[in-house]
Structure 1
Amino acid sequence: MKKLIAGVVLGVGLTAMAHGAGDPEAGKENAAVCAGCHGQGGAKPVMAAYPKLSGLGEKYLYQQLSAIKSGDRQIAEMTGLLNDKSDQDLKDLAAYFNDQAMVVNQADPELIEQGQALYRGGNLASGVPACSGCHNPQGKGNEPAGFPRLGGQQAAYIEKQLKAYRDGERSGTTNASIMMDVATKLTDSEIEAVANYVSGLN
């Protein structure tokens, strides 16, 4: 009987760890202000340059919220919005947004071939690795590593972030050095193509 109880306790503990330390219901209560820019549930931003937050990965979302609150990641539109949020509030918000469904966009057919080639195979000549190696062949990301889901994300937002990494404007956060190294090898046309491709990747 003791072994059975221990097994149940261990199983519940592992399940909690797998799903993170955030409470989606508590996060929902704090997410109303986010909808003004990111849309209900973080799925339909009001501007193309704003990111979708839905289904990005709980670990990634928590890391980014923490970095924004601490000032390690500077986003003018979010200045002060997280100042009164506790660490648990940030975990709850991350859990809530991760539980929401990502709505996939319609990619521009003319850019799909080039974008797909970069996403799946990289560019051997310039040393660009395949995006799918970290972000999953279907664009679902890698939750344990904290790599975000890309499939369905706003193309304009992806473009903006890749250029920010390339120009050294986005740094100081987890995994930023990896993305800075990749982005410095990408041309504007490659960035446009791969951003377009992932926006429609499902």
Structure 2
Amino acid sequence: MNIPSRTECFKLIKKIEMMDHIIDHSIMVSNIALFICLKLKKHSPDLDIRLTTSAALLHDITKTRSFDTKESHPETGGLMLTRLGYPEVGNIIRQHVILDSYENDSPVSEQEIVNYSDKRVLHDKVVPLKKRLEYIKLRYGTRKEFKDRIQMMWANTLDLENKIFCRLDITPGQLSECMTQEIKMGDYNGNGPENI
């Protein structure tokens, strides 16, 4: 499996000219994904931390240009990474908004962690799931078909949150506090999973 290093991810981010606020958002999503992976590792030893954090860092890779092109950034971002030789990363990016399937009885997967981590970051801050989903509703729920899709996504994400946190020693409400403590301790300042 071919996975871009953290350095390669940032080179790609620079090349594609992602907006700074989207970069900040992506870094925080990657930090949460790393935190969740490390917490889940004893329950899911097969989790690929490098794959998860690289996909999280690149999940919005085509979002900046999508403001002009109106493209589906999960689709085009996934396709871009697949064409660059990172099909597993591309597959996760493609699913960062809506997962292909939601299965409560399977181990937590890399794509589920990236999908959930993205739902917990509003701009560059870790927020409760409800706050992030309310923002999504307000920002994107302008047409009926989007409202229906958002409602379905909301229910699925709540189930996903339960699936992840039933395996952890913290609650969803403690994630923000835990992340703040980890960042203050320096554990997430550029230390990518290749250092683990």
TM-score, normalisation: structure 2? 0.28
Task: Work out which of the two has the higher radius of gyration on C-alpha atoms and give 1 or 2.
Answer: 1
TM-score, reference length from structure 1 = 0.27
